[in-house]
Structure 1
Amino acid sequence: MSKKFAEKSQRDLADIDGEVLQGHTSEEFKIAIIGCGAAGVATLLAFLEYLPTKFNQKITITIFEKGPAFGPGFAYQCDNNELLMNMVSSTTSIFPNQKGDFWNWMLEKGCHIGGQQILSKSGVAPDRYISRQFFGAYLKSQFEHGISSLEKLGVEIELINLEVTNACVLGDNSFNVTFGKGFLRHFNCVILCVGNTAPKDIFNLGEKSQYINNPYPVNRYLQLIKSNDCVGIIGGQLTAADIAVVLANQGHKGPINFFTRDLYFPLTRCPIGKYDLQYLTHINLEILKSKNRNGISLRQIMRLARKEFLAAGITWNKFFKPSTKQYSSWVRSLLEDDEDFSCWQNLAIATDDVIGDYWNALSDIEKHLFMNKFHRLWSAKRVPLPVHTVFKLYSLFSLGILRHYPHLKGIDASVKNQFSVTLGNSKHPTLTNKVYCDWIINASGPSREISRVDSVLIKNLLESGLILRNPHGGIMLDYESSRIKNNINRELNNFYAIGHLTSGTYYFVSSLDMVSLRARGVVRHLTESLSYDSNPQRCISDFLYRGEYAS
């Protein structure tokens, strides 16, 4: 963050010293954004888009961030440079309809950050993959731009670099927010942008020495792993690949093992092209909903999906079957272009506009059926690996450093600093095999389940009943507005959530596009509900013009 904004953050911290509760007047509307990673930045920028040029209340936006920096958050923090985005530079952006925004920023500002020529150091090009921490620098820059622009409109921005631990709703639909060492602030609106939850501790390894449940940031534990240690990684997708590559780059010589339950392997990122949906459309969805008032069935969606796959030239049954190859052979086939997966990736990206609406139209029973039968298949294929990472995986497999073991059954940690990994046998279910590791790193991805999260805030909100667990992931929300529902299933005015907490309501929430889309939907809903002298129709027309749907 620039010196100006660092000083602003420190000044704000000084202002709250000794504070207990700050009141408000009817002429002032106070908004709290809790968390300032990609979702927080997208929310701030959405205010810049949707706040009218004239409004009749003073607006104050207070942004809380418990991490070291405002902007990059947890996902794009300063970490190992080998952790790459899985989108090329020219298609990466915090804005859902400005695909080239990062690249334009890089040309104008990025290569001059800190007086250094980052362009020459990182080798950035439109068709190359950038490090996640460099994208974090972009988020910081856009965050600062958003603050400056909003302040010119008369909006007051306050940065507080402390953890929010609780919130309670008052009788007049306003909120008290608790943060730091018992400080309290009063707000008219609270927006949760708290980021991803930690992976689920599948085998209850808890606080066992040399077990890493949350793999990021990798730099916090890499130096503790000895060069010849045997490292086991739970998972075989993008996060697992990241960890293996980073270990190899620091000169690791011991075995690195991927442990997975199945044989569903990731794809390689292909050049992105446009695909127009023919069957999985909003028109067909409305037809299904009109005929099924109690919710459409998964079977009905699958009929449309199979037709869509056929139209795109994809063989459904072959595509979603487990691999018949070993992981090492699979990686080699990706590099040799044995199969072209660009049709699938273009189709998958096109479904981002409709997948939430189709998911919302399913009954709870049908959603549960989808999660049991198709969720893991979809997830394994939906997030591809950068080509750069695939090359490194192939090298590690070829050198015999990296190995893959499917049919993971259990992990025992009864012996100090040693893990016994039990593997099944697909052909002989009664037979098992064991692999011993010095370290276990959980790379299974963020948990959709929030009942056992590490966040003090989420635990307190659950206990108080202010939020309610969604059985399909995250918390209960109103689909149209992203307003949070409490434990009596009542929507709370001016209380919103964006990001991973919304995964049970919207299903696919992981991409930057989806995070930005939801942020814009939240801010649009909030600003239209306030008594500003604005033109709501302009906002709605602009929203529809950009090809976006209910959020």
Structure 2
Amino acid sequence: MFEIAIIGGGPSAACVVAAMAYRIAPEIPINVTVFEPGPNLWRGRVFQPDGDEVLANVPMEDMSAVAWDPEHGVRWFHENGLGDLAADTTVPRRHQVGRYLEDTAEQAIAAMRAAGSNVEIRTSTVTSLEMDEGKFWTHGDDWKAGSFDQVVLCLGATPSYDHYKLSSSAGYIADAYPLREALIDVPEQASVGIVGSGLTAIDVVMGLRARGHRGPITLGSRNGHLPSVRQRPARHKLQHLTVRRIEEVTAANGGLSFDDVVELAKAELVAVGTSIAKIAADFSCTTPAVTRLRNDLVRAMEDRDPGWPVLRDGMVACGQDAWYLLSDADKMRVRAWHQTLMRHCCPMPPANAALLLNMFHSGQLAITGGVRSILPRSTGGFDIDAERPAVVDVVISASTPAKHEIPPAARPLVASMESQGLVAAHPFGGVRVDRITSRLVSRRGVADSKLHALGDLTNGAYLFTFGMPVLAARADCIAMDIAATMGLFPKRS
């Protein structure tokens, strides 16, 4: 029987399992082995059990784990008594999305087994992968398993990033998740510094607030920006910011430039009647973060301009392909606007924005940019050197590195593959993959039909490697590519 190994068992793997159950198992029985040593199978770090204050940031209608059925997630919420959280303007709790992912994977596994396939979950850490006579063998500290015809890497992201080398300091919390555990020992009156000002940092603020924290809280980051506030969906069928148009422009021009992508974006904005000047003003806006938050919240509640929702939809639909096709020089141009793109691509829910604004107005919450250093004090606590210096009792890490790196837990595995030439590092981080199939590209520049990767490991080859629409679409492509390698012609949506 055809043997497939999935290394990693988080949300990416849940999408892959669901896609295999739909695309491959109805055609031929397969053996699937999922390696996941962590406690949150299918949920990963992001959707693990946590408090109700931890929101998903994205409405459920954009969280389907199966690319061929966009209503899958919404339908599951209705069927499980959570229909009030399935509306397009409501975001669910993150642990509820985790339940959905668990159920989706378990139903897919049950369907595969009913069709004659075998699925095994192994709570083992894979530290190396070896190829022998066309087959793959996985290795751990004291075990070996194989032989596999196909391997899919779903390794997840780095849990946290210690910008300021504080890991050995008392009062430093290196990983914010789960909040119910990370924040349990934070004294109620303590002054808290949060490294970062993005969505993870906002989760931490919401976690402290839910626990009745009374002390001052400072958000500190290099840029001092907050995410924008999610607006109502645009309900617009994309005409220009599509993979097809990106490919047509690339073929016609012999390559894709950043200016080409900008022109496609402008055409999409014109198609929905929004103001290009208004969008351009957002990119160059220097309004203080709290003022922007207030303005963004008003816009989310009252403004029906579809500009940013349309651009966000376009970034999800074709952002990975556009980034992949750009030259390195143009990638650097995009990176210069990375923070602005992320601010609008990954907005916060209006409910969180309203609570944040109240905390800013009360004086409990502050934000500063220009963080240069955070140093432990000999008498306890930390000095934050920034535009608005602060002294805090506790520091909580809630940031990501400027350049994504291989997660520490995955480095031995990736190093073993690099030593055999099975993978090649990407200059922008992660490893090289084929744009369409997500096949890993070897040291010789060959896309290997037996090796695929999904998620954070592909950061560099792709610009956005997270979000359920991206994961579900790539997982589906991987399943269809494996099916084609097996000589199957799986059903297509």
The answer to whether the superposition gives a TM-score over 0.5 is yes
Is 1:298 the counterpart of 2:258 in the alignment?
yes
Is 1:535 the counterpart of 2:489 in the alignment?
yes
Shift of 1:475: 1.1
- Residue identity in the other structure for 2:295: S
SS in 2 for 1:66: coil
Q: How does 1:469-548 map to 2 (within 5 A)?
A: 469-531=425-487, 534-535=488-489, 538-539=491-492, 542=493
Matched residue, 2:340: 377
Structure 2 vs 1, CA of residues 124 and 351 (structure 1 numbering), >3 Å: closer, same or farther? closer
**Distance in 1 of aligned mates of 2:178 and 2:111:** 32
SS in 1 for 2:43: coil
Q: How does 1:1-80 map to 2 (within 5 A)?
A: 28-51=1-24, 53-55=26-28, 58-80=29-51
**Distance in 2 of aligned mates of 1:419 and 1:475:** 37
Which residue of 212, 231, 235 corresponds with 2:192? Answer: 231
Which residue of 165, 176, 189 corresponds with 2:150? Answer: 189
8 Å contact from structure 2 (residues 449, 485) kept in 1: no
**Distance in 2 of aligned mates of 1:292 and 1:299:** 12
8 Å contact from structure 1 (residues 310, 316) kept in 2: no
Which residue of 380, 384, 392 corresponds with 2:355? Answer: 392
Residue ranges of structure 1 left out of the alignment (5+ in a row):
1-27, 112-118, 425-432, 543-551
Matched residue, 1:169: 131
Pick which of 274-283 and 500-509 moved more. Answer: 274-283
* CA RMSD of superposed structures (Å): 2.6
Structure 2 vs 1, CA of residues 318 and 67 (structure 1 numbering), >3 Å: closer, same or farther? same
Structure 2 vs 1, CA of residues 458 and 386 (structure 1 numbering), >3 Å: closer, same or farther? farther
Is 1:203 the counterpart of 2:164 in the alignment?
yes
Deviations 1:463-520 (A, max 9, x none): 6354332122321112222111233433333111111111222222211000000000
Matched residue, 1:104: 75
- Residue identity in the other structure for 1:316: I
**Distance in 1 of aligned mates of 2:313 and 2:332:** 23
Structure showing greater radius of gyration is 1
SS in 2 for 1:354: helix
8 Å contact from structure 1 (residues 280, 305) kept in 2: yes
**Distance in 1 of aligned mates of 2:248 and 2:150:** 37
8 Å contact from structure 1 (residues 468, 485) kept in 2: yes
Is 1:403 the counterpart of 2:359 in the alignment?
no
**Distance in 2 of aligned mates of 1:74 and 1:212:** 16
Matched residue, 2:423: 467
Matched residue, 2:97: 135
Matched residue, 1:3: none
Shift of 1:83: 0.7
Structure 2 vs 1, CA of residues 186 and 413 (structure 1 numbering), >3 Å: closer, same or farther? farther
**Distance in 1 of aligned mates of 2:286 and 2:375:** 28
8 Å contact from structure 2 (residues 454, 471) kept in 1: yes
Which residue of 361, 367, 370 corresponds with 2:331? Answer: 367
**Distance in 2 of aligned mates of 1:336 and 1:297:** 35
- Residue identity in the other structure for 1:526: I
Deviations 1:137-162 (A, max 9, x none): 11111111111100111111111122
Q: How does 1:77-92 map to 2 (within 5 A)?
A: 77-92=48-63
8 Å contact from structure 2 (residues 62, 469) kept in 1: no
Structure 2 vs 1, CA of residues 296 and 151 (structure 1 numbering), >3 Å: closer, same or farther? same
Shift of 1:175: 1.0
- Residue identity in the other structure for 1:106: F
Structure 2 vs 1, CA of residues 224 and 365 (structure 1 numbering), >3 Å: closer, same or farther? same
Shift of 1:454: 4.2
Matched residue, 1:547: none
Structure 2 vs 1, CA of residues 105 and 289 (structure 1 numbering), >3 Å: closer, same or farther? closer
SS in 2 for 1:411: strand
8 Å contact from structure 2 (residues 242, 317) kept in 1: no
SS in 2 for 1:508: coil
Shift of 1:339: 5.0
**Distance in 1 of aligned mates of 2:224 and 2:377:** 28
Structure 2 vs 1, CA of residues 386 and 436 (structure 1 numbering), >3 Å: closer, same or farther? same
- Residue identity in the other structure for 1:273: A
Pick which of 342-351 and 395-404 moved more. Answer: 342-351
Deviations 1:71-92 (A, max 9, x none): 2122111122211111234443
Structure 2 vs 1, CA of residues 423 and 340 (structure 1 numbering), >3 Å: closer, same or farther? farther
Shift of 1:522: 0.6
Shift of 1:440: 1.8
Shift of 1:250: 0.4
Which residue of 351, 354, 358 corresponds with 2:318? Answer: 354
**Distance in 1 of aligned mates of 2:441 and 2:415:** 15
Pick which of 90-99 and 151-160 moved more. Answer: 90-99
Which residue of 84, 91, 94 corresponds with 2:65? Answer: 94
**Distance in 2 of aligned mates of 1:406 and 1:339:** 28
Shift of 1:417: 4.1
**Distance in 1 of aligned mates of 2:405 and 2:391:** 31
**Distance in 1 of aligned mates of 2:76 and 2:263:** 43
Matched residue, 2:205: 244
SS in 1 for 2:343: helix
Structure 2 vs 1, CA of residues 298 and 347 (structure 1 numbering), >3 Å: closer, same or farther? closer
Shift of 1:334: 3.1
- Residue identity in the other structure for 1:374: W
**Distance in 1 of aligned mates of 2:327 and 2:38:** 38
- Residue identity in the other structure for 2:258: L
Pick which of 356-365 and 373-382 moved more. Answer: 356-365
TM-score computed with the length of structure 2 as normaliser = 0.90
Shift of 1:458: 4.4
8 Å contact from structure 1 (residues 177, 184) kept in 2: yes
- Residue identity in the other structure for 1:523: A
